[in-house]
Structure 1
């Protein structure tokens, strides 16, 4: 049995700069890294590093960059049968200065987004799947299609992000685990969620709508786990932060792996926090979670 991840594939260009310049100014680049990226790809790679059998559903361009992304995914041990090829590959440029201030520049062609047809076609060719992890930063229709397909085969559904309106009403009852960062939690709650008490109240509301476990980031504090029997705060790890870009992706990879190992909510959360901590100490969103294998 294995994991299917649905999400973005892109080329990441990461620049560590002395400072972020103002208008008509420049700054020196201390380090430059180009790598496979995207929330879906990063999470799938992290899961493979943790020893999981994983298939990725996403879109790589028909360009040379897309071919290179697929080669890297295969080398990382990620199944790519569910990756569609069309258009040009998405690009994310990240600049990071010494104060952990980030600037993000995204080129995301419409053709690079996962469609409902992509999900239906790919899941039809993937067998023995017991966990489906969905990045909700993609359009709502493919996410809903994935939830329906997962429920038909009794798979656990993990969702990372937020959808609104009618899509939320349909999606949440089919989700087993929901994770949201600080900005996404604010959208879900209709206001900034900057206190643990507010996060706990929102988490209880979301659990009542369907998910058995909700994980909400509280900016500057940590991640709050909420389930029907209680809640638990996981403080931010005390590590030197170089780049926060891939923290959420690594967190979700750790969360999924911990669930599949049969741990309780707190143990699962601690593994997810350790995965995020291992990633933020390095430049770029690509994870290296091999040291966390159980």
Structure 2
């Protein structure tokens, strides 16, 4: 299998994680168990996960001129990510994500900070790297105009575009038609399509995205696994692996990284979804979004590949 070469354009955050037994109710104060500061952000998480799997990865993101930014840069470089094109700005502090983590679930509040300063011209600087890459991996925690420009640049050079539409927001058709694979979870699928999945079939929402121009939709469903469908195909299901859950924070990012890795290694979408399920399954067994990302050796050892 060839070494995938992937450019990730996305967010970089410091995750401020509180571990507690349950979520507080409205207006309630409870005692937490632990406090951790962990390198995160969807873009950074996915870049680190790809590097740990063995991909050649360039990160395009933005941090502030502060200690959080320095920590994030160091963590990514230590994991083998090319950080030469990360923007350091004085206009905003490094983005943060405040995460409340219970034994079964998590909730997250993101303050974008420097992520909002990532511009199209910052992506333009890596055009030659995009031209040499196999794929471009995108999310929605940076300005939409920047995401659109990155997708357009990838299309210009005939590169595969994977979009993790989180957090979900209305997307222009000009972007959707450039996306080869979109990876919404159930909540994001509802937000993107306006279809209530408690009332109508999930496949109806998937078809609406496909009709808007997306080539393939892979919907992640947590412990229920994932579903995927191409424009010319039927709905397919991938089961989740039953693991001892420690931290679900990076599960979606691990899934996207595994998917991007296998697609960029010229595997078919079915094989890529199956591999992504293994990567995300292992990711939840360790604490911390980036620290929990498995290596390729971890995947091969656990699943006897």
Correspondence 1:155 to 2:159: yes
CA contact (8 A) 1:60 1:112 kept: no
| Alignment partner of 1:131 out of 122, 131, 135 | 135
Deviation at 1:218, TM superposition (A): 3.8
Shift of 1:277: 1.1
Q: Structure 1 residues 216 and 21, CA, compared in 2 at 3 Å: closer, same or farther?
A: closer
State the SS of the aligned residue for 2:274. helix
Matched, 1:233 2:237: yes
Q: Give 1:141 deviation, angstroms.
A: 0.6
The residue that corresponds to 2:78 in the other structure is 75
Question: Following TM superposition, by how much is the alpha carbon of 1:126 offset from its aligned partner in structure 2, in angstroms?
Answer: 5.5
Instruction: Find the counterpart in structure 1 of residue 196 from structure 2.
Output: 192
Q: Is there any run of 5+ residues in structure 2 with no aligned partner, and where?
A: none
Q: Give how far 1:269 is off.
A: 0.8
Q: TM-score, normalised by structure 1?
A: 0.89
**How many residues in Structure 1 have an aligned counterpart in Structure 2?**
290
Deviations 1:108-136 (A, max 9, x none): 22664422222223335665112101112
The CA distance in 2 between the partners of 1:164 and 1:95, in whole Å, is 23
SS of the counterpart of 1:44?
helix
Q: Which runs of 5+ in 1 are unaligned?
A: none
Q: Alpha-carbon deviations, 1:212-267, whole Å to 9, x = none?
A: 32101346633111012222112332223232211111000000111122222221
Q: What is the TM-score with the length of structure 2 in the denominator? A: 0.86
Deviation at 1:18, TM superposition (A): 3.0
Give the 3-state SS of the residue equivalent to 2:183 in structure 1.
strand
For 1:204 and 1:283, locate their aligned partners in 2 and report how far apart those are by CA, in whole Å: 36
Find out whether 1:92 has 2:116 as its counterpart: no
**267-276 or 218-227: which moved more?**
218-227
Say if 2:130 and 2:136, in contact at 8 Å, map to a contact too: no
Q: Does 1:109 align with 2:116?
A: no
How much does 1:208 deviate? 3.4
1:13-48 CA deviation, whole Å, 9 max, x = no partner? 22222334454633141x443221000000000000
List structure 1 runs of 4+ shifted beyond 6 angstroms. Answer: none
Q: 1:284 to 1:250 in 2, by over 3 A?
A: same
Structure 2 CA distance for aligned equivalents of residues 74 and 127 of structure 1: 22
Quick one: which of 1, 16, 20 aligns to 1:17? 20
RMSD: 2.3
